[in-house]
Amino acid sequence: MATKMELFDELRFAKRQQWAVTAAAIALIAGIYHIADNADPPMAPWEQHLAAFCVLVVAAGGIGMLYKLQGHLCRTRLDIDKKDPDPWWRGLDVVIALMIAIAISAIAVCYSFWRA
């Protein structure tokens, strides 16, 4: 069984990972956009669909990882205090904001593939 100090360190690590996952997802989405935007000649329709699919896979993966990390935080908080009244909800507002940031990035990039 881990000590409370180790569990608190685990909480800090998981919270940092949430930000790292968000940054990595947005960076990958931006990378896909950059490649697509600099395509010469312009992308064919099938390439636009493939690029949009890749963006959506990255976004879904990032959001899924954030969800899993929130679950890990919940379990770690319960390991620290079995009577914690709301281990899942604590910090969820930040996680939702990070998920929204990934989703907005993905939507904006997918939209840009078909704009005039």
**Which pLDDT belongs to residue 2?**
82
* Averaged pLDDT, 91-108: 97
Question: Is 14:73 a contact under the CB 8 Å cutoff?
Answer: yes
Residue 88 binned pLDDT confidence (cut-offs 50, 70, 90): very high
- Which residue in 105, 19, 18 sits closest to 55, CA to CA? 105
The CATH number given to 4-112 is 1.10.132
Task: Give CA–CA dist 11/77, Å, rounded.
Answer: 8
Question: Is 55:109 a contact under the CB 8 Å cutoff?
Answer: yes
Q: What does 67-105 look like in DSSP terms, one character per residue?
A: HHHHHHHHHHHHHH-TT-S-TTTTTHHHHHHHHHHHHHH
Q: Please say if the pLDDT value at position 116 is more than 70.
A: no
pTM (whole model) above 0.85: yes
Residue 58 binned pLDDT confidence (cut-offs 50, 70, 90): very high
What are the structural domain ranges in the chain? 4-112
